[in-house]
Structures are given as C-alpha cells and as structure tokens.
Structure 1
Amino acid sequence: MTDLSVQSGMTDPAASAAQTRLTADTQSFLKLLTTQLSNQDPLAPVDPTQFVSQLAQFSSVEQAVQSNSRLAEVLSELRASGDRMDLSYIGREVEVADTRVALTEDGASARYLVPDGAQRVEVRILDMEGKTVRTIQGSTVAGIKDLEWDGRTDSGTQAETGIYRVEIGAFDKDGKQLETQITVTDKVRRVVRQDGKTLFQLNGGQVVTRDQIVSAG
C-alpha cells in the first residue's frame, strides 16, 4: 500500500526501456547499413529500393515506439493529476455508498433509501462476523431516511465500538424484496494506492474506493 502524498515524478519503466532499446537498435541498423554499403559489389550494386524499404520499415517502428513513449507520458501526467485530485479529499466530509458504519461512543449513523411500494422495512445491524446484534423496524414512507443507532443490542447491552454492517430489507405487499441503498457520511483521513487503485480511509476506519463516493463537502 503506497501513500499518495509521497508519490511524485514517476515515469513509465516500459516506455523508458523501449526508448533505450530503440536507441541501441538505431545504432545497430546504421552500422549494418554502412557495412552493407561498404561491401557491396561495385559491378552489381544492391538495388536501392531495398534500402528504401528497410529505411521505411525502421522508420515505422521508430515512430511507433516514440508514439507509445509520448502516450505513456500523457498517461503518467493524467495519473499524477488524478492523484492530486484524490489527495484533495483528505479532511473533507464525503458521503459514500457503503453498508459499513463505525460505532463510536456517540453511536453510529447512516442513511437509507425506502423505495416506492414498501409495506415493511427492516433494518438489521450485524457485526463483522455476520451476527445480527440489533433489529429495527424502519419507516415505510418512500424517500431517504436517517438511521441513528445508539449502540444498544437487541438484548439491551452496549455493543463494542468498531465497524458494523447495515442491511435494509424492504418488502412490498406480496413479500417481494425491493431494491434499496445505504450511504454513510464521514471524513477522509488518508488516501493510499494499492494494486493500482486509489483507496480512501475514513475516520471511522472504513476503506472505500473512488466509485463509492456519492458526494463530498
């Protein structure tokens, strides 16, 4: 895992290697061409069209490598620009599409969507092992609803602080489950790169991707 704040001036190793190979191949080609010209039979010179063909082929390869090198530079600049934008999220409050909530001493909060036609809405809070610790009957009125959990379990005890998962079950009059969505709001504490992806670590401990960010303050 790499902290984006320490990344700068990175170059594409493949483009650099290709450029080095092209330089070496150019020198080899010129030596071969010079040797060929020096050793040709004056009474039966090599057909000049062969030289033209060879030069054209080598020129095409050279242009392709140079184009790839320039493209790599453009991609590297775009990546650096994207990294700078990602770093701007640090300290900002973001709303993310995620089912994980952080329970602190002040409780935990989230928002969920109640779809049209819902006749029964059940909110379940589970620990990270998948065990249900609290079940709450939610509103059936369509729209975005706030979920506030004080940390109390179904047995009345206080749950330990940490990360929990929220599940929303919304059902119509026929008992068919409807599609819903859960979002969590928190501040970004750190931005890192892992396996080519940018990850945002929230104050509560959740780690989310850029695609999960719904809005930012």
Structure 2
Amino acid sequence: MVDAVTTTGAAARTDAGRTAMATNFETFLTLLTAQLKNQDPLSPVDSNEFTSQLTQMSGVEQQLLTNDLLTSLLEAQQAGGLSGAANYIGKDTTAAWSAMKLDGGQANWSYELATDAATADLQVLDSAGRVVWSGPAPNRTEGTHDFVWDGKTTAGGQLPDGGVYTLKVTAKTGADETVTSQTLVRGRITGVELYNGEPYLTVGNSILPLSSVIALQERATPTPSGGTA
C-alpha cells in the first residue's frame, strides 16, 4: 500500500502552526508596544525594521491560509474517490488480485491461462510467503477457471480461519515454454473503504484496490416467476 498525505495529518500540522503563529504574534505585539513606549525620542527605532517584521508575520499567516485551502481540496478529492467507488457496489467484478482470507474453511480464486497448457500447477502461500498447499490445476485449457481451496495443507492439516493467503499459478506448454497466466478474484462488490486516500473494494473474502479491477458488469436481475427476461 502506497503511503499518501492524509487530511488528518495535514490538519494537525496546520492547527499546530496556527497556534504557534498566534503565540508568536501576541509576543511580537507585546515586544513592539514595549519597544515603542521605551524608545529614545531622539533616536527612534527604524520604521523599516517594523515593516519587515510585520511583513514576515503576514507571510506566515498567508501560508497557513494556503494550507487550509490545500487541506480542503484534499478532503474533497478523497471524498470524491470514495463516493465514486461506491457506485461499484452491487456490480460483479474481475480483479487481477491474489490475496484472499480463509473463511468458513475455504478461499475462492480464479486463474486465467492465455493458451492451453500441458502442465499447470497451483500453490497457496501464507502471509510469510511459505507454500502451505500445492497441487495440479483442475483445468489446463485456455481461459478463466475457478479454484476453491478447502484450507488444508498439502499434508492434510486444517488451517484456521482468518489467515490471508495468495494463489500462484505456474503453467507450461508441451515444449516446456511458460504459459502466460494470472490469478484473479471474481465476485460481487459489497462495500468500499478508503485507505491512505485510495479506494478499496470488498469482494467476497478479499479487500482489493480499485486499481486492480480489470472488468465490471451489472449484476443480473432475477427474472420473476412466469415472466420473461
């Protein structure tokens, strides 16, 4: 996940700067008043110095106002990203993504092969990158195929729910050449969330970035009994 400027951090820095500026400005005015009261009438303080100091204080205030504007623009941009992503809720999606949470003793992926393969193997990896299960792909023909993992290791042990796992596909032709493949997550979008300014979609047991989506379509509306589509 890419780090991004957040409105919370920007607002905190702006508030701190405004508090410091107010304190410094009050101190400046106190010192200015005292200096004017106690200056030597025969050798008054150079007015250009006062003008310079006032200009500096005005510049700081202007910078804080600019920061307020930038913070407002950032908040509007993030809100727009979330509201825009909310339009995807209820649609069916296909995303080039491999992270999936094991829930109810299963995790569901899809995998795509660019051409028919002579051999195709699947590996399920845990969050540390260790292979916990491996086996032949259920289908080696060109196209997109579904795969359901039952949460069991290659040795047969059952892994607990809650862990996040990824699927890896390795496919070869009869000439031992690599077949282009990718892991996919397919399903209905049920929610959206904002992480560091980037919208993420909830699809089944996976939370994936909007940028990983490669296809969207309207969810089919059930045909009423006795009616026509």
Q: Does TM, normalized by the shorter one, top 0.5?
A: yes
Question: Which whole-Å deviations, capped at 9, do the CAs of 1:70-104 have from their partners, x for residues lacking one?
Answer: 11121122112222223333322221112357899
The answer (yes or no) to whether the contact 2:201–2:210 under 8 Å persists in 1 is yes
Distance 1:19-1:110 versus aligned 2 partners, 3 A rule = same
The answer (yes or no) to whether the contact 1:12–1:76 under 8 Å persists in 2 is no
State how many pairs are aligned: 197
Instruction: Give how far 1:122 is off.
Output: 0.9
> Counterpart of 1:207 in 2: which secondary structure?
strand
CA distance in 2, matches of 1:98, 1:122: 19
The answer (yes or no) to whether the contact 1:126–1:134 under 8 Å persists in 2 is no
Question: Which whole-Å deviations, capped at 9, do the CAs of 1:136-187 have from their partners, x for residues lacking one?
Answer: 3512x5xxx121447799xxxxx99x88754322335763535432322211
Distance 1:78-1:137 versus aligned 2 partners, 3 A rule = closer
The answer (yes or no) to whether the contact 2:95–2:186 under 8 Å persists in 1 is yes
**Equivalent position amino acid for 2:202 in 1:** Q
> Counterpart of 2:138 in 1: which secondary structure?
strand
Question: Which whole-Å deviations, capped at 9, do the CAs of 1:31-88 have from their partners, x for residues lacking one?
Answer: 3222222221100001122112212222222222221221112112211222222333
> Counterpart of 1:130 in 2: which secondary structure?
strand
Distance 1:13-1:215 versus aligned 2 partners, 3 A rule = farther
Flag structure 2 segments of 5+ consecutive residues without an equivalent. 1-9, 153-157, 218-229
Distance 1:77-1:40 versus aligned 2 partners, 3 A rule = same
The answer (yes or no) to whether the contact 2:98–2:167 under 8 Å persists in 1 is yes
Residue in 1 that maps onto 2:138: 136
Instruction: Give how far 1:110 is off.
Output: 2.3
**Equivalent position amino acid for 2:168 in 1:** E
CA distance in 1, matches of 2:199, 2:118: 38
> Counterpart of 2:120 in 1: which secondary structure?
strand
Structure 2 length as normaliser, TM-score?
Answer: 0.65
Instruction: Give how far 1:121 is off.
Output: 4.7
Identity score, percent: 22
Structure 1 length as normaliser, TM-score?
Answer: 0.68
The answer (yes or no) to whether the contact 1:120–1:170 under 8 Å persists in 2 is yes
Distance 1:164-1:49 versus aligned 2 partners, 3 A rule = closer
Residue in 1 that maps onto 2:65: 66
Flag structure 1 segments of 5+ consecutive residues without an equivalent. 1-10, 154-158
> Counterpart of 1:188 in 2: which secondary structure?
strand
> Counterpart of 2:181 in 1: which secondary structure?
coil
**Equivalent position amino acid for 2:63 in 1:** A
Distance 1:137-1:66 versus aligned 2 partners, 3 A rule = same
